[in-house]
Structure 1
Amino acid sequence: MTATAMQDEKQQAAAWFRTLRDEIVAAFEGLEDAQSDGPLSDRAAGRFEVTPTTRTGDEGEDAGGGLMSVMRGGRVFEKVGVNVSTVYGTLGAKAQAAMAARGVPGIEADPRFWASGISLVAHMQNPHVPAVHMNTRMFWTPNAWWFGGGADLNPCIEYAEDTAQFHAVLKAHLDPHGEGHYPRLKDWADEYFFIPHRNRARGVGGIFMDDLCTGDWAADFALTQDIGRAFLPAWLPLAEKRRATPWGEADREAQLLHRGLYAEYNLVYDRGTKFGLATGHDPDAVLMSLPPLAKWA
């Protein structure tokens, strides 16, 4: 692929991640508006606070940025962040070594990079509404490019039918790209979203992929887009169904303890958190995924 063609592909990917961000933000604010009766309906519907984020290169130069969109204290969402960014520059020594260990060719000889993507994490007011995570991204170096992303459900009170519905929608969006994709990405998510020091998963799974580069950019981007498109139909009906369910102190206790697991995973194991902090991106945006309150036994 020529340099000009790849520049066009980068712009196309970055624009699509921004479009997906806009759709999700609108849907989440619509969910807040819909909570007009039931728990917490007496408070104002939540709205996102949008803050530009910036990345500064080693020499102080502009190295990209994005938008951090966070809603706190809403009717349905206790805290939710939907971030989108496009960053570029030169990878530091630690990031180069990590990329080289993953098999990225030529990264130590030419450590320039470009990355764009969307990332969201939702922590809910109602313990019966499952927390959720989703991200999709594109990464480029002078000698390689790839896509990554996924979504996983993190209920503190599990409903088997909700888990089944979430997975069914993900599968339906992946199957047109080949029926082998869903089982492979499901197994990958089970492996990736696992907390070794607790010997348990952080949730009930989903799908996950990284380092996707078949050589067909359009096909790989189309798969990545359908991972993003699957998110709202997979999760939003679950939130709509559970948002008015009454809850008590025991439910809240279970929620806070489960959030402790989520925080442990994101701070110790999550690849995106490590990359964002290592490359100098806005730490508030990188750590947006952490819950507002959590508890440990």
Structure 2
Amino acid sequence: MSKVRKPDADPTPPSEAVIEDRKAAAQAWFRQLRDDIRNAFEALEDDGGRLRDDLSPGRFEETAWERKNDDGTPGGGGVMSVMKGRVFEKVGVNISTVHGRFSERFAKEIPGAEEDPRFWASGISLVAHMQSPKVPAVHMNTRFIVTSRSWFGGGGDLNPPIPVAEDTADFHAAFKSACDAHDPAYHPMFKDWCDEYFHIPHRNRARGTGGIFYDYLNTGDWADDFSFTQDVGRAFLEIYPKLVARRMNEAWDEADRETQLIYRGLYAEFNLLYDRGTRFGLMTGGNPEAILMSLPPEAKWP
């Protein structure tokens, strides 16, 4: 990806103790963000559902998993949090922290791994598929990766089966505000990167209505890079529940549902064919159930 160059080796690399402190801080933040998002989504389940009063308010169910390295040593793990309710048909808010060694083939694709194949990665990944076709589906993730170099990545993008200009504008505005607080160049760059990344070549169309996407973020100011990544999570937590509350009790019909199911097929095609996060998880021995949590509970193809 040409928009942000991959991180060069640090001429004055931080000490091992500093790296460990950074890992702990990032891991703790992803866990806190997970908890805050789950609380907000469960509150929407309590408040909404007027159109699905046949269903009880959903609650997240946790499933912990452990990863083993190829040599059988512990390689970290994570926690899946999945809820199926009356507002959220299926939503997963997963956290993971994994470590080990990249395969020789995969190491060539990862900055810093050709010099040393050891890696550590922690992050949060969220995908929500909604009961109502009027409520946009959404994806968000942020992560911190350490090889012989280190960087942040992530973003969020809106995926409405039935796009509404107001919702798209508000979603973009929230992320623009987070970007502008750190660097005015971030939003146009990361917005364009999102549009490019979530383009589906074989359909010649976008997966959704965009957002931001960034990777290899290592400006030399780790504290600001971490603060920006936190602000991305906060921006998502601020705007997306508002969009859900705005649309979740609007009437919809079977034609709307058909539109939603066909759109979900498009979403699944991208995630299975092109998504780098899916590939990274599978190539590093992650939990397939957690990695494929992004797939919708029901979909159709025309």
Deviation at 1:97, TM superposition (A): 2.2
For residues 43-122 of structure 1, the aligned pairs below 5 Å read: 43-72=55-84, 74-99=85-110, 104-105=111-112, 107-122=113-128
Query: What does 1:198-209 align with in structure 2 at a 5 Å threshold?
Result: 198-209=203-214
For 2:275, the equivalent position in structure 1 comes to: 270
Give distance in 2, aligned partners of 1:207 and 1:109. 30
Aligned-pair distance for 1:42?
3.2
Structure 1 match to 2:31: 18
Q: What is the one-letter code of the residue matched to 1:92? A: S
Distance (Å, rounded) in 1 between the aligned partners of 2:81 and 2:204:
33
Partner of 1:43: helix, strand, or coil? coil
Q: Helix, strand or coil: the match of 1:95?
A: helix
Which one-letter code corresponds to 1:57 in the other structure? N
1:177-192 matches, cutoff 5 A: 177-192=182-197
Q: Deviations over 1:178-202 (max 9, x none)?
A: 2111111101100011101100000
**TM-superposition CA deviations, 1:36-71 (whole Å, max 9, x none):** 5x2112321001110002111001111001110011
Aligned partner of 2:125: which letter?
A: S
Q: Which amino acid aligns with 2:25?
A: Q
Helix, strand or coil for the counterpart of 1:98?
A: coil
Q: Offset of 1:16 from its aligned partner?
A: 0.4
Q: Distance in 2 between matches of 1:260 and 1:67?
A: 26
Q: Secondary structure at the match of 2:51?
A: coil
CA distance in 2, matches of 1:295, 1:186: 29
Q: Mark the runs of 5 or more structure 2 residues left unpaired by the alignment.
A: 1-13
1:147 corresponds to which residue? 152
Match of residue 139 from structure 2: 133
**Counterpart of 1:23 in 2: which secondary structure?**
helix
Paired residue total: 289
Question: Matched residue of 2:55: which SS?
Answer: coil
Deviation at 1:94, TM superposition (A): 2.9
When normalised by structure 1's length, the TM-score is: 0.96
> 1:9 matched to which residue of 2?
22
Q: After TM superposition, which residue ranges in structure 1, 4 or more long, deviate above 3 angstroms?
A: none
Letter of the aligned partner of 1:115 in structure 2? A
Q: Does 1:296 align with 2:283?
A: no
Tell me, yes or no, if the aligned pair for 1:116 and 1:137 is still in contact at 8 Å.
yes
Query: What's the CA shift for 1:241?
Result: 0.7
Matched-pair identity in %:
60
Taking the aligned partners of 1:97 and 1:113, their CA distance within structure 2 comes to: 13
**Which whole-Å deviations, capped at 9, do the CAs of 1:261-297 have from their partners, x for residues lacking one?**
1000000000000010011111000000000011100
Contact 1:167 1:234 in 2 (8 A): no
Q: Residue 298 of structure 2 aligns to a residue in which SS?
A: coil
Q: Cα offset for 1:236?
A: 1.1
Task: Provide structure 1 residue ranges, at least 5 long, that are not aligned to the other structure.
Answer: none
Let me know the Cα RMSD of the aligned residues. 0.9
